[in-house]
Amino acid sequence: MNIWMSWQELNSVVASKKDIYLYGRSVDWVHKCLNNLRVNPKCIIDREKTYHGKKYFDLEVYPIEKIKIHDEIFIIITAGDYEGIVDLLESRGLKPGYNFVCSPDFQDYKKLLSFHSKNFNILISCSDYNDQTRARASREGGGLYELNTKTFQLKKKLSGSFRQFDNYNSNLLAVDYVSRELLFINKDYKIEKKIQLNKPNYCGLAIDNQNHRAYIANAGDDTVLLISELDKKKPKLSEIQFIKKPKGKNREAHVNDLYFFDDKIFFSYFSRSGNYKLGVFDGGVSHYDQNDGNISTEMISKLWKPHSPKIFNGKLWVLDSMRGKLISGFGSEYYNIGGFVRGLDFYNDTIVIGQSQDMYLSDRVAQGDSVSIDSGVHLFDTDSKALRFVPINKIMNIHDLKVLNIV
Protein backbone atom coordinates (compact mmCIF):
# COMPACT_ATOMS: atom_id res chain seq x y z
CA MET A 1 0.00 0.00 0.00
CA ASN A 2 1.00 3.61 -0.48
CA ILE A 3 2.91 5.42 2.30
CA TRP A 4 1.72 8.75 0.90
CA MET A 5 -1.67 10.14 1.92
CA SER A 6 -3.27 13.55 2.03
CA TRP A 7 -4.10 14.98 5.45
CA GLN A 8 -7.78 14.31 4.82
CA GLU A 9 -7.05 10.63 4.07
CA LEU A 10 -4.69 10.27 7.03
CA ASN A 11 -7.11 11.80 9.52
CA SER A 12 -9.82 9.46 8.26
CA VAL A 13 -7.54 6.44 8.87
CA VAL A 14 -6.31 7.43 12.36
CA ALA A 15 -9.85 8.13 13.55
CA SER A 16 -10.28 4.36 14.03
CA LYS A 17 -6.79 3.68 15.45
CA LYS A 18 -5.93 3.49 19.17
CA ASP A 19 -2.13 3.28 19.29
CA ILE A 20 -0.76 6.17 17.21
CA TYR A 21 2.91 7.20 17.30
CA LEU A 22 5.18 9.67 15.57
CA TYR A 23 8.57 8.41 14.38
CA GLY A 24 11.18 11.17 14.41
CA ARG A 25 11.72 14.02 16.89
CA SER A 26 12.28 16.54 14.12
CA VAL A 27 12.28 20.28 14.78
CA ASP A 28 11.09 20.72 11.18
CA TRP A 29 8.25 18.22 10.96
CA VAL A 30 6.74 17.32 14.36
CA HIS A 31 4.95 20.62 14.97
CA LYS A 32 3.61 20.66 11.41
CA CYS A 33 2.23 17.17 11.87
CA LEU A 34 0.60 18.00 15.22
CA ASN A 35 -1.03 21.09 13.72
CA ASN A 36 -2.78 18.96 11.09
CA LEU A 37 -3.42 15.73 13.02
CA ARG A 38 -6.89 15.50 14.61
CA VAL A 39 -5.93 12.87 17.23
CA ASN A 40 -3.26 12.84 19.94
CA PRO A 41 -0.29 10.49 19.42
CA LYS A 42 0.88 8.39 22.39
CA CYS A 43 4.53 9.36 22.08
CA ILE A 44 7.43 10.01 19.70
CA ILE A 45 9.81 7.26 18.60
CA ASP A 46 13.40 8.23 17.85
CA ARG A 47 16.74 6.41 17.62
CA GLU A 48 18.76 9.28 19.19
CA LYS A 49 19.58 8.25 22.78
CA THR A 50 19.94 11.83 24.08
CA TYR A 51 16.20 12.37 23.42
CA HIS A 52 15.02 9.27 25.27
CA GLY A 53 12.98 9.85 28.42
CA LYS A 54 12.50 13.54 27.62
CA LYS A 55 9.44 15.37 26.35
CA TYR A 56 8.98 17.20 23.08
CA PHE A 57 5.70 19.06 22.53
CA ASP A 58 4.48 17.29 25.71
CA LEU A 59 5.12 13.88 24.15
CA GLU A 60 7.57 11.37 25.67
CA VAL A 61 10.39 10.23 23.37
CA TYR A 62 11.31 6.52 23.35
CA PRO A 63 13.37 4.10 21.26
CA ILE A 64 11.36 1.72 19.10
CA GLU A 65 12.42 -1.18 21.35
CA LYS A 66 10.14 0.25 24.07
CA ILE A 67 7.09 0.15 21.79
CA LYS A 68 4.85 -2.90 21.71
CA ILE A 69 4.44 -3.89 18.06
CA HIS A 70 1.03 -5.30 17.15
CA ASP A 71 -1.24 -5.46 14.13
CA GLU A 72 -3.24 -2.33 14.92
CA ILE A 73 -0.33 0.00 15.67
CA PHE A 74 -0.12 3.09 13.47
CA ILE A 75 3.02 5.20 13.01
CA ILE A 76 3.39 8.55 11.21
CA ILE A 77 6.97 9.18 10.09
CA THR A 78 8.11 12.72 10.95
CA ALA A 79 11.81 12.55 10.07
CA GLY A 80 13.46 13.62 6.83
CA ASP A 81 15.40 10.37 6.40
CA TYR A 82 12.12 8.54 5.95
CA GLU A 83 13.46 5.92 3.52
CA GLY A 84 15.63 4.28 6.19
CA ILE A 85 12.75 4.36 8.68
CA VAL A 86 10.46 2.70 6.13
CA ASP A 87 13.00 -0.14 5.81
CA LEU A 88 13.25 -0.47 9.59
CA LEU A 89 9.48 -0.64 10.12
CA GLU A 90 9.05 -3.17 7.34
CA SER A 91 11.81 -5.32 8.89
CA ARG A 92 9.69 -5.42 12.06
CA GLY A 93 6.71 -6.77 10.15
CA LEU A 94 4.77 -3.52 9.82
CA LYS A 95 2.86 -2.92 6.59
CA PRO A 96 3.24 0.36 4.65
CA GLY A 97 -0.06 2.15 4.32
CA TYR A 98 -1.70 -0.04 6.96
CA ASN A 99 0.64 0.30 9.94
CA PHE A 100 2.62 3.37 8.92
CA VAL A 101 2.75 6.29 6.51
CA CYS A 102 4.92 9.35 5.94
CA SER A 103 3.71 12.71 7.11
CA PRO A 104 1.87 14.37 4.20
CA ASP A 105 4.11 17.38 4.77
CA PHE A 106 6.92 15.35 3.18
CA GLN A 107 5.22 15.39 -0.22
CA ASP A 108 7.01 18.55 -1.36
CA TYR A 109 10.27 17.36 0.19
CA LYS A 110 9.94 14.05 -1.63
CA LYS A 111 9.27 15.80 -4.95
CA LEU A 112 12.31 18.05 -4.53
CA LEU A 113 14.57 15.12 -3.66
CA SER A 114 13.30 13.25 -6.71
CA PHE A 115 13.77 16.31 -8.92
CA HIS A 116 17.35 16.90 -7.78
CA SER A 117 18.23 13.24 -8.28
CA LYS A 118 17.27 13.24 -11.97
CA ASN A 119 20.33 12.28 -13.92
CA PHE A 120 20.05 13.33 -17.57
CA ASN A 121 22.53 13.45 -20.40
CA ILE A 122 21.47 16.16 -22.82
CA LEU A 123 22.92 16.78 -26.27
CA ILE A 124 23.28 20.50 -26.98
CA SER A 125 24.14 22.33 -30.20
CA CYS A 126 26.03 25.61 -30.05
CA SER A 127 26.75 28.09 -32.86
CA ASP A 128 29.43 30.21 -31.15
CA TYR A 129 32.48 31.22 -33.14
CA ASN A 130 35.88 29.94 -32.05
CA ASP A 131 37.50 33.22 -33.13
CA GLN A 132 37.58 35.36 -29.97
CA THR A 133 37.76 38.59 -32.03
CA ARG A 134 34.25 38.03 -33.38
CA ALA A 135 30.90 38.71 -31.78
CA ARG A 136 29.13 35.59 -30.51
CA ALA A 137 32.44 33.92 -29.71
CA SER A 138 32.93 31.94 -26.50
CA ARG A 139 35.66 30.23 -24.55
CA GLU A 140 34.80 26.74 -25.81
CA GLY A 141 33.35 27.77 -29.19
CA GLY A 142 30.60 26.15 -31.21
CA GLY A 143 29.94 22.45 -31.44
CA LEU A 144 27.96 19.54 -30.06
CA TYR A 145 28.12 19.11 -26.28
CA GLU A 146 26.83 16.60 -23.77
CA LEU A 147 25.61 18.03 -20.47
CA ASN A 148 24.94 15.95 -17.36
CA THR A 149 22.27 17.49 -15.17
CA LYS A 150 23.46 15.91 -11.91
CA THR A 151 27.16 16.75 -12.11
CA PHE A 152 26.73 19.85 -14.34
CA GLN A 153 29.64 18.46 -16.38
CA LEU A 154 29.81 19.72 -19.97
CA LYS A 155 31.78 17.70 -22.54
CA LYS A 156 32.50 18.87 -26.06
CA LYS A 157 31.96 16.06 -28.56
CA LEU A 158 32.43 17.78 -31.93
CA SER A 159 33.55 21.24 -33.02
CA GLY A 160 31.49 23.28 -35.49
CA SER A 161 28.85 25.98 -35.73
CA PHE A 162 25.62 24.04 -35.27
CA ARG A 163 21.96 25.03 -35.12
CA GLN A 164 19.25 22.37 -35.25
CA PHE A 165 20.04 18.66 -35.43
CA ASP A 166 17.90 15.55 -35.90
CA ASN A 167 18.19 11.77 -35.99
CA TYR A 168 18.41 9.85 -39.25
CA ASN A 169 18.53 6.09 -38.75
CA SER A 170 21.65 5.45 -36.65
CA ASN A 171 23.17 8.84 -37.49
CA LEU A 172 22.76 12.33 -36.16
CA LEU A 173 22.36 14.96 -38.88
CA ALA A 174 23.43 18.56 -38.27
CA VAL A 175 24.11 21.59 -40.45
CA ASP A 176 27.42 23.38 -39.97
CA TYR A 177 26.47 27.03 -40.43
CA VAL A 178 30.00 28.20 -41.30
CA SER A 179 31.21 25.41 -43.60
CA ARG A 180 27.72 25.14 -45.21
CA GLU A 181 27.57 21.37 -44.93
CA LEU A 182 25.02 18.79 -43.84
CA LEU A 183 26.98 16.36 -41.66
CA PHE A 184 26.18 12.69 -40.99
CA ILE A 185 27.54 12.00 -37.49
CA ASN A 186 27.77 8.56 -35.90
CA LYS A 187 27.23 7.60 -32.26
CA ASP A 188 30.92 8.25 -31.53
CA TYR A 189 30.60 11.79 -32.95
CA LYS A 190 32.69 10.95 -36.01
CA ILE A 191 31.65 12.50 -39.33
CA GLU A 192 30.79 9.72 -41.79
CA LYS A 193 29.45 11.77 -44.69
CA LYS A 194 29.00 15.38 -45.85
CA ILE A 195 26.62 17.06 -48.27
CA GLN A 196 27.74 20.47 -49.49
CA LEU A 197 25.01 23.12 -49.36
CA ASN A 198 24.64 25.76 -52.04
CA LYS A 199 24.36 28.99 -50.00
CA PRO A 200 24.74 30.47 -46.50
CA ASN A 201 22.24 30.95 -43.65
CA TYR A 202 20.92 27.40 -43.32
CA CYS A 203 19.80 26.72 -39.75
CA GLY A 204 16.60 24.73 -39.14
CA LEU A 205 16.54 20.98 -39.81
CA ALA A 206 13.86 18.27 -39.79
CA ILE A 207 14.12 14.66 -40.99
CA ASP A 208 11.47 12.38 -42.51
CA ASN A 209 13.16 9.06 -41.75
CA GLN A 210 10.61 6.89 -43.52
CA ASN A 211 10.98 8.67 -46.86
CA HIS A 212 14.69 9.50 -46.44
CA ARG A 213 14.19 13.27 -46.67
CA ALA A 214 15.83 16.23 -44.96
CA TYR A 215 14.28 19.70 -44.81
CA ILE A 216 16.68 22.57 -44.09
CA ALA A 217 15.41 26.11 -43.49
CA ASN A 218 17.31 29.11 -44.78
CA ALA A 219 16.77 32.10 -42.50
CA GLY A 220 18.30 34.47 -45.05
CA ASP A 221 15.84 34.07 -47.94
CA ASP A 222 12.99 32.07 -46.32
CA THR A 223 13.46 29.08 -48.60
CA VAL A 224 13.61 25.46 -47.47
CA LEU A 225 16.07 23.04 -49.05
CA LEU A 226 14.62 19.57 -49.60
CA ILE A 227 17.23 16.82 -49.79
CA SER A 228 15.57 13.59 -50.89
CA GLU A 229 17.02 10.08 -51.23
CA LEU A 230 19.32 10.55 -48.26
CA ASP A 231 20.09 6.85 -48.40
CA LYS A 232 21.60 7.14 -51.89
CA LYS A 233 25.16 8.13 -52.82
CA LYS A 234 23.90 11.21 -54.65
CA PRO A 235 20.84 12.64 -52.90
CA LYS A 236 18.57 15.02 -54.84
CA LEU A 237 18.35 18.69 -53.88
CA SER A 238 15.37 20.95 -54.57
CA GLU A 239 13.92 24.11 -53.03
CA ILE A 240 10.54 24.88 -51.47
CA GLN A 241 9.01 28.18 -50.36
CA PHE A 242 7.22 27.53 -47.07
CA ILE A 243 6.13 31.12 -46.66
CA LYS A 244 5.50 33.71 -49.36
CA LYS A 245 8.51 35.97 -49.72
CA PRO A 246 7.52 39.46 -48.53
CA LYS A 247 7.99 42.13 -51.20
CA GLY A 248 10.34 45.04 -50.64
CA LYS A 249 13.93 45.66 -49.62
CA ASN A 250 15.16 44.14 -46.34
CA ARG A 251 11.90 42.28 -45.79
CA GLU A 252 11.96 38.68 -44.69
CA ALA A 253 9.98 36.31 -42.49
CA HIS A 254 13.12 34.66 -41.06
CA VAL A 255 11.95 31.04 -41.22
CA ASN A 256 14.21 29.31 -38.69
CA ASP A 257 13.37 26.06 -36.87
CA LEU A 258 11.58 22.99 -38.25
CA TYR A 259 9.89 19.90 -36.80
CA PHE A 260 8.58 16.88 -38.73
CA PHE A 261 5.42 15.14 -37.53
CA ASP A 262 2.69 13.15 -39.33
CA ASP A 263 3.82 14.13 -42.87
CA LYS A 264 3.87 17.81 -41.89
CA ILE A 265 6.79 20.12 -41.33
CA PHE A 266 6.06 22.65 -38.60
CA PHE A 267 8.09 25.84 -38.90
CA SER A 268 8.60 28.97 -36.83
CA TYR A 269 9.34 32.45 -38.17
CA PHE A 270 9.97 35.94 -36.84
CA SER A 271 7.48 37.91 -38.94
CA ARG A 272 4.54 36.88 -41.11
CA SER A 273 4.54 40.35 -42.71
CA GLY A 274 8.32 40.35 -43.21
CA ASN A 275 8.89 43.46 -41.12
CA TYR A 276 10.83 42.16 -38.14
CA LYS A 277 13.88 44.25 -39.14
CA LEU A 278 11.61 47.27 -38.77
CA GLY A 279 10.65 46.22 -35.26
CA VAL A 280 7.40 44.45 -36.18
CA PHE A 281 7.35 41.06 -34.45
CA ASP A 282 4.34 39.19 -35.77
CA GLY A 283 6.03 35.82 -35.49
CA GLY A 284 4.32 32.47 -35.37
CA VAL A 285 4.14 28.80 -36.27
CA SER A 286 2.60 27.20 -39.37
CA HIS A 287 3.04 23.87 -41.12
CA TYR A 288 3.74 22.56 -44.62
CA ASP A 289 2.03 19.35 -45.77
CA GLN A 290 4.52 17.33 -47.78
CA ASN A 291 1.72 15.29 -49.42
CA ASP A 292 -0.19 18.12 -51.09
CA GLY A 293 2.14 21.12 -50.64
CA ASN A 294 -0.46 23.11 -48.69
CA ILE A 295 0.69 25.60 -46.08
CA SER A 296 -1.50 26.17 -43.03
CA THR A 297 -2.58 29.50 -41.67
CA GLU A 298 -0.86 30.56 -38.47
CA MET A 299 -1.42 27.96 -35.76
CA ILE A 300 0.18 30.21 -33.14
CA SER A 301 0.68 33.94 -33.74
CA LYS A 302 1.90 37.16 -32.09
CA LEU A 303 5.26 35.67 -31.06
CA TRP A 304 8.54 37.56 -30.61
CA LYS A 305 11.38 35.73 -32.38
CA PRO A 306 10.03 32.19 -31.77
CA HIS A 307 12.06 28.96 -32.02
CA SER A 308 11.81 25.21 -31.43
CA PRO A 309 8.30 24.10 -32.47
CA LYS A 310 7.50 20.59 -31.21
CA ILE A 311 4.56 18.20 -30.96
CA PHE A 312 4.26 16.44 -27.61
CA ASN A 313 1.26 14.64 -26.09
CA GLY A 314 -0.87 15.76 -29.02
CA LYS A 315 -0.10 19.46 -28.46
CA LEU A 316 1.90 21.98 -30.44
CA TRP A 317 4.59 23.69 -28.35
CA VAL A 318 6.94 26.56 -29.19
CA LEU A 319 9.31 28.92 -27.42
CA ASP A 320 8.46 32.62 -27.55
CA SER A 321 12.19 33.26 -27.35
CA MET A 322 12.47 37.00 -26.72
CA ARG A 323 9.75 36.95 -24.08
CA GLY A 324 11.29 33.91 -22.41
CA LYS A 325 8.04 31.94 -22.53
CA LEU A 326 6.99 28.39 -23.28
CA ILE A 327 3.78 28.41 -25.33
CA SER A 328 1.43 25.43 -25.74
CA GLY A 329 -1.75 24.61 -27.64
CA PHE A 330 -2.89 27.50 -29.77
CA GLY A 331 -1.00 30.27 -28.04
CA SER A 332 -1.60 29.89 -24.30
CA GLU A 333 1.36 30.65 -22.06
CA TYR A 334 2.51 27.54 -20.21
CA TYR A 335 5.50 28.92 -18.33
CA ASN A 336 7.46 32.18 -18.15
CA ILE A 337 11.21 31.70 -17.71
CA GLY A 338 12.57 35.16 -18.41
CA GLY A 339 15.69 34.49 -20.50
CA PHE A 340 16.24 34.14 -24.25
CA VAL A 341 14.99 30.57 -24.68
CA ARG A 342 15.79 28.28 -27.62
CA GLY A 343 15.99 24.47 -27.73
CA LEU A 344 13.16 22.31 -26.37
CA ASP A 345 12.65 18.65 -25.48
CA PHE A 346 10.37 16.51 -23.30
CA TYR A 347 10.98 13.43 -21.19
CA ASN A 348 8.09 12.01 -19.16
CA ASP A 349 7.21 14.73 -16.61
CA THR A 350 10.22 16.95 -17.36
CA ILE A 351 10.41 19.76 -19.92
CA VAL A 352 13.95 20.69 -20.94
CA ILE A 353 14.53 24.23 -22.24
CA GLY A 354 17.75 25.85 -23.43
CA GLN A 355 18.66 29.44 -22.58
CA SER A 356 21.28 31.53 -24.40
CA GLN A 357 23.08 34.62 -23.18
CA ASP A 358 20.68 37.46 -23.92
CA MET A 359 22.03 39.91 -26.48
CA TYR A 360 18.79 41.88 -26.68
CA LEU A 361 18.85 43.33 -23.20
CA SER A 362 17.74 46.85 -24.14
CA ASP A 363 14.77 45.57 -26.17
CA ARG A 364 13.60 43.43 -23.28
CA VAL A 365 14.10 46.10 -20.62
CA ALA A 366 12.14 48.55 -22.80
CA GLN A 367 9.18 46.17 -22.45
CA GLY A 368 9.44 46.40 -18.67
CA ASP A 369 10.89 42.92 -18.29
CA SER A 370 13.53 41.62 -15.94
CA VAL A 371 15.96 39.51 -17.94
CA SER A 372 17.92 36.38 -17.12
CA ILE A 373 21.16 36.75 -19.13
CA ASP A 374 23.10 33.52 -18.48
CA SER A 375 23.31 30.50 -20.74
CA GLY A 376 22.22 27.12 -19.46
CA VAL A 377 19.40 24.60 -19.38
CA HIS A 378 16.10 24.79 -17.49
CA LEU A 379 14.50 21.60 -16.16
CA PHE A 380 10.80 22.13 -15.50
CA ASP A 381 8.99 19.43 -13.51
CA THR A 382 5.36 19.39 -14.65
CA ASP A 383 4.25 17.50 -11.52
CA SER A 384 5.67 19.74 -8.81
CA LYS A 385 5.95 22.87 -11.04
CA ALA A 386 9.53 23.22 -9.80
CA LEU A 387 12.10 24.81 -12.11
CA ARG A 388 15.80 24.01 -11.92
CA PHE A 389 18.51 25.88 -13.84
CA VAL A 390 21.75 24.16 -14.86
CA PRO A 391 24.20 26.99 -15.71
CA ILE A 392 26.73 26.74 -18.54
CA ASN A 393 29.41 29.43 -18.48
CA LYS A 394 31.60 28.10 -21.30
CA ILE A 395 29.30 28.86 -24.24
CA MET A 396 26.91 31.65 -25.23
CA ASN A 397 24.34 30.25 -27.65
CA ILE A 398 22.24 27.13 -27.30
CA HIS A 399 20.22 26.39 -30.43
CA ASP A 400 18.88 22.89 -30.01
CA LEU A 401 18.90 20.12 -27.42
CA LYS A 402 17.75 16.56 -26.94
CA VAL A 403 17.58 14.27 -23.92
CA LEU A 404 19.89 11.39 -24.80
CA ASN A 405 19.39 8.98 -21.91
CA ILE A 406 18.57 8.74 -18.25
CA VAL A 407 21.58 7.59 -16.22
Whether 216 maps to a domain, the answer reads: yes
| Minimum mean pLDDT range among 53-57, 162-166, 365-369 | 365-369
- Residues 222 and 341 both lie in one domain: yes
pTM across the whole model: 0.82
- Give the residues across from 159 on adjacent strands: 143
pLDDT digits (tens, 9 = 90+) for 258-295: 999 999 999 999 998 888 888 888 999 999 999 999 98
Is the pLDDT reported for residue 355 higher than 80? yes
| 54 and 128 share one domain | no
Establish if 279 belongs to a structural domain: yes
| Lowest-confidence segment of 18-32, 145-159, 368-382 by average pLDDT | 368-382
Question: 33 with 24: CB under 8 angstroms?
Answer: no
Residue 401: name the closest of 350, 349, 325, 337 by CA. 350
- Among candidate residues 68, 91, 115, the one where a domain is terminated: 115
Could you tell me what percent of the chain has a pLDDT over 90? 68
pLDDT the model gives residue 48: 94
Sign of the dihedral through C-alpha 111, 113, 117, 120: positive
H helices within 239-357, ranges in order?
A: none
CA distance 220 to 47: 69
Distance CA(280)–CA(300), nearest Å, equals 16
Q: Give the number of domains in the chain.
A: 2
Nearest C-alpha neighbor of 115 from the set 388, 405, 329, 343 = 388
DSSP state of 115: H
Residue 376 belongs to some domain of the structure? yes
Q: Which residues contact 390 (CB under 8 A, 6 or more apart)?
A: 147, 149, 152, 376, 377, 378, 379
Distance in angstroms (rounded) separating the CA atoms of residues 44 and 34: 11
DSSP bridge pairs for 387: 380
The length of the chain in residues reads: 407
Q: Are 307 and 327 in contact (CB under 8 A)?
A: no
CATH of the domain at 97: 3.40.50.720
Residue 212: pLDDT band by 50, 70, 90 thresholds?
very high
In tens, the pLDDT along 215-246 reads 999 998 899 999 999 999 999 999 998 887 76
pLDDT, position 139: 80
Residue 180 covered by a domain: yes
Q: Looking at the structure, tell me whether residues 101 and 171 fall in a common domain.
A: no
What residues make up the domain containing 307? 121-406
Q: Find all residues with CB under 8 Å of 14, minimum gap 6, and list them.
A: 20, 37, 38, 39, 74, 76
Examine residue 2 and state whether it is found in any structural domain, yes or no. Answer: no
Confidence of residue 407 (pLDDT cuts 50, 70, 90): very low
Residues 271 and 358 in one domain: yes
- Which of residues 64, 97, 115 is at a domain's end? 115
For the cut 60, the answer to whether the pLDDT of residue 25 exceeds it is yes
Handedness of CA 226, 228, 233, 234 (dihedral sign): negative
Are residues 233 and 282 both part of a single domain? yes
Domain end call among 84, 115, 146: 115
